[in-house]
Structure formats: C-alpha cells, structure tokens
Amino acid sequence: MDNTLITIPFEDVYPAAERYFLATAGLNRENSKHKRMWIHALAIYEEIRGKGEIKALIHHVIPEKAEGRDFYFRGVKISCNAFERIQLDNVNGAYFYIITAGDAQTESEQVIDQLYGDIWGTSIVDAAREKIRDRIISMDKEKDENSILSDSFGPGYYGMELLQTADIFRIIDPSLVNVTLNPGGMMRPQKSITGLFLSVKNGEVLPPATCENCIGGSSGCTFCNRWER
C-alpha cells in the first residue's frame, strides 16, 4: 500500500488558518471594535491547539477505468461531475487524502465559544489541505516533473455526492488516522476532511474554480456553460 502518514504542527498551518478564520468570522483585526472579539477568538484557538493533533494520510492510486463522470480505482466507483471532461489517458494517478484535527474543539458551552471553535476547526483542516497539496506536488514531481496537480475533488465539491465518503474509505484506510464514519455518513472526529487530487499530464484542461460549487444535474457538464473549453 502506497501510504504516506504526516503529522502537521499547528504552527505550520496557523497563518492560513488565521486567514480563513478572519474571513469566515467576518473579523478585521485593524478594527478597534473587533479587537475584543479577536482576543477571545485567540483564546479559543489556544484551547483547541492544546487538545488537537493534525494528521494527514495520503494514498496514491492509479485509476483503471473511466465511464463518463465515473472513475474506477481498484474496482471502486468514484463519481464526480468534474471527471466527465478529463481524459483518463491524461491522468497519471490520484492522491486520496484524509486530514483530521483530532480532538480540536472547545469544552465551553457558550454559544460564541462553540461558534469560534467550529470556525477554527474548519479553518485548521482547510489550511492543512493547502499544506498537503504542496507536499503532494513535490511527491508528484518526483514521478513526473511535467505533471500538473488538480485542486481537491471531494464530497460536496465539483458535483461529488456526500455519500461518496464511504466509497473513498474503501480506497484509503481511515483507521490509520483514527477516523471513523458513523451510520449517518459523518466523519469522526468531526473536524476531518477527505477527497483526492488528480495528477494529470501537462496540457490536460482541469475544471475551473467556478465548478467547485457544482450541484450536479442529470445532463452533467455537456449542457453546462460554467466550464468552457
């Protein structure tokens, strides 16, 4: 199994996590009215940092078959609208990933603390995804220096259904980072994310950022004007 397990220090993700947090919470550190809120948000971050642990698992797989919006990895079908226009012959491989922030949550029952804790947790795993994408680009360049890495495809993005998490977990082993899936399809710990990056040959056209929020549709990309070629 081609698995890479990484522990990411909180310091490494902080700058990007702070940027995501401020954008999501609508806080401006230069605004004097927001100063007290920001100091409080930082106290919640410190609590979370003391309890969480950021781990990432990366698993490299080569897709064996493509049919429309379906790619097959070791017999498991992963469906994503954005796969529809990607030529299988131009795909070098896929890097599946799971990132978890572990027990990164606040013990406080105050609503504002819960809200800040939730935004920090999401910001931390999103920042960690940026980090592992950089790491994967380096790994991929060792295999083919001309390859291009896609953005992340995953449940809820680019027209991939949330239920696909269970299928992704048949390809990458979540137990290696202590992540589980409950009967409702939710990952535990709660601040965990999964998906895949595709490595493609230089020249293959990847979906634009405007496709990220694709909600799908029965006719797929064929009659959709968001992705012009």
**Per-residue tokens: 2:** 């081609």
Pick 81 or 122: Cβ nearer ligand SF4: 81
Q: Is 168 in the site for ligand SF4 (CB under 6 A)?
A: no
Element (H, E) at 58: strand 54-61
CB of 211: closest distance to ligand SF4 in angstroms?
A: 3
Q: Is 224 in the site for ligand SF4 (CB under 6 A)?
A: yes
Q: Is 86 in the site for ligand SF4 (CB under 6 A)?
A: no
CA 203, distance to chain mean position in Å, is 24
Q: Is 227 in the site for ligand SF4 (CB under 6 A)?
A: yes
Amino acid in position 31: N
Q: Is 156 in the site for ligand SF4 (CB under 6 A)?
A: no
CB of 209: closest distance to ligand SF4 in angstroms?
A: 10
Cα dihedral 180/184/185/190 (nearest 10): -60
Element (H, E) at 5: strand 3-8
Contact status, residue 148 vs residue 202, Cβ threshold 8 Å: yes
Q: Is 221 in the site for ligand SF4 (CB under 6 A)?
A: yes
CB of 85: closest distance to ligand SF4 in angstroms?
A: 7
Contact status, residue 59 vs residue 171, Cβ threshold 8 Å: yes
**Per-residue tokens: 194:** 């999964």
- Among the listed ranges 47-55, 95-103, 172-180, 207-215, the one in contact with ligand SF4 (CB under 6 A) is 207-215
Q: Round to whole Å and give the CA distance between 198 and 65.
A: 14
Q: Is 154 in the site for ligand SF4 (CB under 6 A)?
A: no
Q: Is 211 in the site for ligand SF4 (CB under 6 A)?
A: yes
**Per-residue tokens: 124:** 């931390």
- List residues near ligand SF4 by CB under 6 A: 81-82, 158-159, 207, 211, 214, 217, 220-221, 224, 226-227
